[in-house]
A and B are shown apart, each in its own frame.
Chain A
Amino acid sequence: MSPAAHTRTEEIDHAFLAAAQRGDDAAFLAIMRHYDRLLRIVAFHVLRDRQLMDDVLQDVTLRAYRSLRGFRGDAALGTWLSRITYRAACDAVRRNDRCWPVDPEDLERAAAPEGDPADVLAVRSTLEEAFAALSAEQRVAVLLVDREGYDYATTARILDIPAGTLASRLSAARSKLRRRLADHPDDEVPA
């Protein structure tokens, strides 16, 4: 959303937090909708799976619902929710590495057909491929800092790493992205 095309989510008015802590469910849902985009970004770019993203975010919402009364405001509410989301998404990755449930839709998949794999695989741009090649932590870090405009302190708190570690992870991610994007400029849709 402009003025920058994507901007960091502003903190919600404190009145909504106070109401939610008093048990106002409409206010609580309003809080979750307010931060929804930020949490989707964090969860999806760890999990890289939409269904899992929805599952994790529903779990995060329930966790926040139960814990909100104890939220003391040591961090910004968005930061607190994002940190819960990042941890939950990382936990989900670890669990799913051990055991991947079979989706019935997968039953429809035939064996890999002959012919050009480009006809079978989803179309992905060079940018998407370069981005997907980063680690989960690098993806979230570079999105929050470089695209969304969050400061180092906030991003480090979300990722639960020291600011110095964040700086080095960001540097590595940026180098990797720039290198790949310079080597393979994206084919733009003609203007």
Chain B
Amino acid sequence: MIPSRRHTPSDDRHRDEVLGRRLEELDDPQHGPGYWAALGRRLEAARAAEASAETPEHVSASRKTLRLDRRRAWRLVAAGAAMAAAVAVVALFGLPGVVEKTGPPAVEAEPVVARALRALASTRTLTADYVSREFDRTGSTAVSVERFHIVMRADGSSRATTILPPDNGDAGETAYHFIDTAYDAGTGIHRIYQETRSSEAGGQSGMAVSSASKTVGCAIGEPDREQGTTLKFAAFAAALRTARDGRARAQTFEGRPAWIVSCRLTATSASPLASDTQPAPPYDRLSVTIDKATGMPVRVRLWSDDILRVERRLENVVVNGALPAHAFSFSPPLGVSFDRRDDGFRLTTLDKLRARSGGALLPGALPAGYRLAVAATAARSPSLDRRLQGSSITALRYARGFDALTITTRDVRGLRRPPELDPFLYEWVGAPSRPDEVLLTSGAFAGATARVLVAPLTVPHLWVTRDGTLLTVGGAAGVNELVAIAESMEVER
């Protein structure tokens, strides 16, 4: 039985709605990292205290003592350890490969991050060179380097083209893998061209193996759409949200004024970047560099034990520039033809969804500014990956500038699907994600336990199953927003 929505009429005779709408620009304050885990520990201690029949006065006295001790401890650190702290700061910032140098004083990151998120939400087009590096345990050697030229449009269209290293004609065999991948949200067509070429000494071109595919009926968003260009950029937004409770310093980056926002990461910050050969370390520090002029995040860095492990950069960034007419489609080279595929998604409308037998599960609430961009259905998942298996798939994509949210539902009855199986992360990634578990209290999924993951380099997402229906919510949102969306899902007819 799905509870109906109850709206209690409020006495809004004296409500200033114009002012209220203006006040919506104020961001909601978020908890610091680890808040719910710390709260859980305090509740456990309170329960244990009750169980051992301590009096409430004794417990609150103990708690007060703890708090006083903590404050006293901080005063001792301030009074007696200032010199040691200064030395530590200099040592920390002086080590190569460690965090950004000191300079102007640090300030709260929240307003800086909020401005960057507003810039993202109002961006229409973006072109940039995307560079990704992952470093070994010493931080001195890049074990993986990717370079792409990316083009993105707010409707979800995207293109990524490998930037090839210059041909230096050195002796020895060199090989490269070239990819051009383009998704046109207007047509729902995804094109990929791949070429692997080797060249031998003397610069003679060697063998080239190429393939091209054109897919219609593409999924309109995560998790069904293959994570590619949008994930690369969504990672920057996710990193921003993670860092909003950190500190910001005004510095320069690539000769331009910038903010560098830094924060510590907790044990619950998952790391979905493990490769087959290199398990991901637990990252403990994150920094995001924000270009002041454009408000865009242009670099994300992750450290483990003060060793730089991951760097993602955007270079040569152009925001809201004009794009050529066919920026998101291409023809393969002569002699190569497209393999054609149909992933089975078909565009639809909310009215058609509501008119179906059984109605449609739709969200009743969304973060401010989001509008429905496209809705689609598919009879079954085109993927063989068990994390995406299901039938009667409905996908809704909402957009707000470059921010996007995709909500999907699918029938998973009869599938042996572990509840912890994350639809958004490849199982081979390695280190298990550690999502928050949240008991949903309202809507069609009330009473079910949702899993929510907001981590620096993955699309923030939530998943929950109830009565054979798997719900996923993924995109530019924080934990509370994802949960609120899940709790607002209702059947509409």
Contacts and interface: CB of A to CB of B under 8 A. Distances in A.
Interface of A: 1-3, 5-8, 10-13, 16, 25-34, 36-37, 40-41, 44, 50-51, 53-54, 57-58, 61-62, 65-66, 99, 101-105, 107-110, 112-113, 119-125, 127-128, 131, 142-143, 145-147, 149-153, 167, 170, 174, 177-178, 181, 186, 189-191
Contact of A30 (B11, B32, B439, B484): B439
A103 B106 CA distance: 13
B441 A12 contact: yes
B25 A108 contact: no
Interface in B8-32: 8, 10-12, 14-17, 19-26, 28-32
A122 B111 contact: yes
B12 A151 contact: yes
Contacts of A13: 3, 441-442, 446
A13 B443 CA distance: 10
Contacts of B481: 1
Contacts of A109: 105-106
Given A3-B365, A44-B29, A152 B11 contact: yes
Contacts of B134: none
Top 9 A-B pairs, shortest CB-CB distance: A5-B368, A151-B11, A1-B365, A146-B20, A44-B29, A102-B78, A30-B439, A109-B105, A147-B23
A102 B481 CA distance: 33
Contacts of B56: 66
Interface stretch (B112-120, B144-152, B387-395, B411-419): B112-120
Contact of A103 (B29, B74, B111, B368): B74
B313 to A, nearest CB: 23
A92 to B, nearest CB: 11
Which of B23, B366, B487 is most buried by chain A, counting CB atoms within 10 A of its CB?
Answer: B23
B403 interface: no
B367 interface: yes
Interface in B74-115: 74-75, 77-78, 82, 85-86, 89, 102, 104-112, 115
Interface stretch (B37-45, B173-181, B215-223, B467-475): B37-45
B480 interface: yes
B326 interface: no
Binding site secondary structure of chain A: helix
10 contacts: A3-B364, A10-B7, A25-B43, A31-B441, A40-B31, A41-B28, A142-B23, A146-B15, A146-B23, A149-B20
Contacts of A2: 365-368, 370
Given A13-B446, A26-B439, A123-B115, A58 B19 contact: no
B5 to A, nearest CB: 8
A54 B250 contact: no
B369 interface: yes
Interface size class of B (residues with CB under 8 A): 35 or more
Contact of B15 (A12, A103, A112, A145): A145
Contacts of A27: 439
A188 to B, nearest CB: 8
A10 B74 contact: no
A34 B104 contact: no
A109 B85 CA distance: 12
A28 B369 CA distance: 32
B245 interface: yes
A145 B14 contact: yes
Given A6-B24, A190-B320, A33 B438 contact: yes
Contacts of B24: 5-6, 147
Nearest to A76: B8
A119 B15 contact: no
A50 B110 contact: yes
A102 B74 contact: yes
A1 B15 contact: no
B247 interface: yes
B71 interface: yes
Given A16-B441, A53-B31, 14 more contacts: A6-B24, A7-B365, A10-B8, A26-B439, A27-B439, A29-B43, A33-B439, A40-B29, A105-B106, A121-B107, A125-B25, A146-B16, A151-B11, A174-B19
